Amino acid sequence: MNKFRFMDYVGVSIYWVALSFMWQGLHPIILPMRVLDFVPQALQGTYLGALTFLGLVMAMILQPVMGAVSDRCTSRWGRRKPFILVGTLLDLVFLAVIGLAGSYPALFLGYFLLQLSSNTAHGPYQALLPDLVPEEKRGSASGAKNLADIGGSVAGALAAGYFMDRGQLWWAMISMMAALVITMLIAVIGVREEPLTERPTERSVISTVLGTFKVDVRQYPDYLWLLVSRLLFFIGLTAVQSFFLYFIKDVFHEPNPAGVTAQFMAVLTLLVMIVAYPAGHLSDRVGRKPLLFLSGLLGALGVFLFLFARDYGHLFIYGSLLGIAMGSFLSANWALATDLIPKAEAGKYLGLTNLATAGGGAIARLGGPLIDFFNARRPGQGYFALFILTCFLFLLGTAVLGKVRETSR
């Protein structure tokens, strides 16, 4: 494709709005509130951590598998579109299950199945960027992707916080369903994806699935080090986001923690949205690693300062540093990932990136028992331990980037 136009950027980015709208509403706001409907407060972190940990483990496995399967799909619609359509339609069903859940096991089942359906669409969709975007525009396209991603996060957090503060769970769920359907239709209709005329290999679907996690370490060592760095960053980032509502409730004694959490996440993600596209564009010019080093250090500083927050003003100021770090990291990291992967297997390799994204999210949920353990000894001490651990993870992830060699563009 010689010309990559504005609507092409929209096509490869728009569905991220709905994915982020849904998960940013569910993970930090709706799921913590729903868990409190069924479990004692003393075990809130443990039950929330168990719920999201197991769901994200499934996401970590399924997303690269579905990406690899879509790599060899010969549908006349294209390699990716059928998976986006089917996964989205199933999302609507399982969001309804979460809304109707009358017990913790029912909530668990709905969340688990939603991870299955969402990643059926997610894995193939993200491969559209390396499929269609010229190499010299991938930084800008990654910035546009993260702009959509974070825009959805802002809207999702605000919508979920608004409705949950008013006890309107179903309006929150309906808003997610609407975002999914609208953006799915735009992506499926608007993307000009050429069908694959023949499969790239003679392998069966079963052998493709079984071979999803086989990566030539000697051929792609830089990609593997990038995954390690991304994993460490996402463990820290997701740990802060996942338990922030409980931090506001237990440390600041806020009677409406969902609303404050939504406002904080909205400010955080608004900054990411402002930074994401310029950071991606800048990485096309100066390289990916300088921005990644800066984002790791800035993120560690922002979370460290949370330890000294005494009011919401301090919290929002320190959170702004984390937001700027996130925007730079997400765009430059995704652009570097698309640089390092083989294009013929983009679905598989960008799906494997989810080993770090969802894997980091899953591991972060194990912070729930850690928080409960320290809080049982001294109120609020669990969050102190969480923030110190997050700083360490950001710094370690930044150090690991030294192992990654950028490709010349």
> How would DSSP label each residue in 2-36?
----HHHHHHTTHHHHHHHHHHHHIIIIIHHHHHH
pLDDT for the residue numbered 344: 64
Residue 260's contacts (CB-CB under 8 Å, 6 or more residues apart) are 248, 252, 254, 312
Arithmetic mean of pLDDT, 157-171? 89
Question: What is the crossing angle of helices 14-25 and 81-100, to 10°?
Answer: 20
Helices (H), 26-137: 31-36, 44-71, 81-100, 104-126, 128-132
Of 316-320, 357-361, 370-374, 390-394, the range with the highest mean pLDDT is 390-394
Is the per-residue pLDDT at 184 higher than 90? Answer: yes
Q: Is 166 helix (H, G, I), strand (E, B) or coil?
A: coil
Evaluated on CA atoms 70, 74, 75, 80, the torsion sign reads positive
Q: Are 63 and 353 in contact (CB under 8 A)?
A: no
Take residue 289 and report the two structure tokens written for it. 């690693």
13 burial (CB, 10 Å; 0-12 / 13-18 / 19+) is buried
Report residue 181's pLDDT band, with 50, 70 and 90 as the boundaries.
very high
Architecture of the domain defined by 6-192+218-403: Up-down Bundle (1.20)
**Percentage with pLDDT > 90 across the chain:** 23
Q: What is the pLDDT of residue 1?
A: 42
Q: Compute CA 120 distance to the chain's CA centroid, rounded to the nearest angstrom.
A: 15
Q: Which is more confidently placed, 277 or 4?
A: 277
In Å, how far are 11, 78, 128, 192 from 81, measured between CA atoms? Answer: 11, 6, 10, 10
Q: What is the mean pLDDT of residues 302-325?
A: 87
Round to whole Å and give the CA distance between 44 and 368.
8
Lowest-confidence pick of 44-53, 55-64, 129-138, 362-371: 129-138
Distance between CA atoms of residues 266 and 372, nearest Å? 27
- Find the mean pLDDT for residues 363-388: 86
DSSP letter string, 197-257: SS-SS---HHHHHHTTT---TTT-HHHHHHHHHHHHHHHHHHHHHHTHHHHHHHHS--S-H
Selection from 26-30, 264-268, 283-287 with the highest mean pLDDT: 26-30
pTM for this model (two decimals): 0.67
324-348, pLDDT tens digit by residue? 998 888 888 878 887 877 766 666 6
How far apart, in whole angstroms, are the C-alpha atoms of residue 239 and residue 49? 10
pLDDT in tens, 353-363: 777 877 787 78
Distant-in-sequence contacts of 281-284, Cβ < 8 A, 24+ apart: 281/139, 281/140, 281/143, 282/139, 283/139, 283/142, 283/331, 283/332, 283/335, 283/336, 284/136, 284/137, 284/138, 284/139, 284/140, 284/335, 284/409
What confidence score (pLDDT) does residue 204 get? Answer: 55
Q: What is the mean pLDDT of residues 270-296?
A: 83
pLDDT at 230 over 80: yes
What sections of 243-311 are H helices per DSSP?
244-251, 257-286, 289-306
Q: How far apart are the first and last CA of the chain?
A: 17
pLDDT in tens, 192-217: 777 766 655 555 556 655 555 566 66
Average pLDDT of the chain?
83
Q: How confident is the model at residue 264 (pLDDT cuts 50, 70, 90)?
A: confident
**What's the token pair of residue 250?**
């237990």
| Residue among 121, 172, 154 at smallest CA distance from 347 | 121
Phi, psi of 341 (to 5 degrees): -90, 155
pLDDT at 352 over 70: yes
pLDDT at res. 103: 93
The whole-number average pLDDT for the span 218-234 is 85
Indicate the length of the chain as a whole number. 409
